[in-house]
Amino acid sequence: MPIARAAITTTRRAAVRLGAVALTGALLAACGGTSDDTSADGAGGEVTLTVDLFGSFGYKEAGLYAEYEKLHPGVTIKQTDTEDEADYWKSLQTRLAGGAGLADVQGIEVGRIASVAQQQSERFEDLRKYGADGLKDQFAPAKWAAATGKGGEILGLGTDVGPEAMCYRTDLFKAAGLPTDREELARKWATWDGYLALGKQYKAKAPGKSAWLDSVGSLYSIMIGQEKERYYDASGKLIWEDNPALRTAWDHSVQAAQDGLSAKLDQWSPQWNQAFAAGSFATIPCPAWMLGYIKGQAGEAGKGKWDVAALPGGAGNWGGSYLAVPKAAKHKKEAYELVKWLTAPEQQARLFEKQGNFPSATGAIAKVADAKDPFFSDAPIGRIFGEAAKAAPVQVLGVHDQNIAQQITNALSEVERKGTSPEKAWSNAKKGVANTIG
């Protein structure tokens, strides 16, 4: 788990530096007496900025922190990272309620941004205070609007978006006698039915115990990402139960489960992580940010075995994030400067080239149009994800998006792993959502 290890080493190094800072401070105070005020926290002084994130933002891996520290002498960045966003959100909410223990910069997933903008605007800094209004033209309008509070507060700056594609293992495809060319595959799985049909072909000649797909939960998530309205309509009314688009995604996922196409893994679980290197599945629906995750889990041994093709059934968006500064942060001004720099087009473009997180800054999208990734067999990821980002629908976001999605994927997992009947699972999902929201 390179991500976790990276987090630990960052912390340790930061701790060492922190010790050095404290020592220097003490020495300065001893030499200069009371007249020396410039060494205190503030402009030009030593500042340790804490950044608390989930999943893999990839800033550290792409060397962006190191560069920022070089550009701003005296600034030290300390990152903590939680793998599962659901765990991260729980702990963030607890700390926000207590008003303590918060980092200077907190990551917010797009599925949660509605909750921040509609319910918790008083807990985060309004970035207009630091002049964020001037950045509006840098970002895609929908990305910007979602993080704007009722009174026009700017509560976070967009990092990446999650245009969707399909990642697959060329070596497993070859072994099963399937074509490996990404253009040919994109034609074959132009529709989701085509994708499932290809899955059945794969299953008939699958090498080892490998499955076609990692989990039906990820299939559902990627399909629902292709829809404009998912759980709420534009007026904020809950519509998911009667949403035909959601039902289509559900039905296809049930079909995949019943055809035995899935490796029955739980996304973000340790077993799922192990399966990347073990080659337990041949395809995985991948939003752009998943590329970095695949690289991290599959390791150097996976290089060149993976490829990326256009998604069945058209373009969509899954995830993407924001960086926000909580009111209880210690160094708000410095935190904003860091957020502004990390989300600027140049940095977003570099992050995409190194880690795969697709930029939400419009200026960066043009910059990365020609990007290719050797890990993914030199797939033209700039073009594939760029086209997907352009064609993806602007989604209606709701306060409980993430919680509802979790209940639905849970119910789908019951069909997948326990053979629960789809009708029973659907009623379980309904009960689960009522219990979550009520």
Partner 1 sequence: MTLTASESPAPPRPVPPPARRGSARRAWQTFSPYAYLAPFFTLFAAFGLFPLIYTAFVSLYRVELQTPGEMEWRGLGNYTALFGDEYFWTSLRNTFTIGVLSTVPQLVMALGLAHLLNYRMRGRTFLRTAVLLPYATSVAAATLVFAQLFGRDFGLVNYALGLVGIDPVDWQNGTVASQIAVSTVVIWRWTGYNALIYLAGMQSIPHELYEAAAMDGASRWRQFFHVTLPGLRPTIVFTVIVSTIGATQLFGEPLLLEGSISGGISHQYQTLGLYMYEQGWGFFHLGRAAAIAWVMLLLIVVIVGANALIARRRSRKEAGR
Other residues' Cβ atoms within 10 Å of the Cβ of residue 12: 11
- Choosing from 84, 137, 241, 346, the residue that interacts with partner 1 (CB under 8 A) is 84
Of residues 12, 70, 90, 174, which one binds partner 1 by CB under 8 A?
Answer: 90
Q: How far apart are CA 130 and CA 204, in angstroms?
A: 59
Q: Of residues 9, 38, 94, 421, which one binds partner 1 by CB under 8 A?
A: 94
> Which stretch, 33-41, 89-97, 169-177, 182-190, contacts partner 1 (CB under 8 A)?
89-97
Shortest distance, position 120 Cβ to partner 1, whole Å: 6
154 strand-pairing partners: 148
Site size for partner 1, by CB under 8 A?
33
Best CA proximity match to 263, nearest among 202, 316, 306, 319: 202
User: CB of 33: closest distance to partner 1 in angstroms?
Assistant: 41
Contacts of 417 (CB under 8 A, 6+ apart): 264
Place of tokens 């799922």: 272
Task: Give the nearer residue to partner 1 in terms of CB position, either 257 or 309.
Answer: 257
Q: How far is it, in rounded angstroms, from Cα 309 to Cα 434?
A: 37
Q: d(Cα 322, Cα 161) in Å, to the nearest integer?
A: 9
**Cβ atoms of residues 340 and 322 within 8 Å:** no
Least distance CB 395 / partner 1 (angstroms): 22
Which 259-298 residues touch partner 1, going by CB under 8 A? Answer: 264, 266, 269-271, 274-275, 278, 280
Nearest to 404 by CA among 361, 365, 436, 427: 436
CA triple 332-338-144, angle to 5 deg: 90
Mark 332-351 with x for binding to partner 1 (rule: CB under 8 A) and - for no binding: --------------------
Letter string b/e over residues 421-434, b meaning 16 or more CB atoms within 10 A of that residue's CB: ebeebbebbeebbe
18 binds partner 1 (CB under 8 A): no
Site for partner 1 in 402-431 (CB under 8 A): 403, 410-411, 413-414, 417-418, 420, 428, 431
Binding site for partner 1 (CB under 8 A): 84, 86-87, 90, 93-94, 97, 115, 119-120, 264, 266, 269-271, 274-275, 278, 280, 403, 410-411, 413-414, 417-418, 420, 428, 431, 435-438
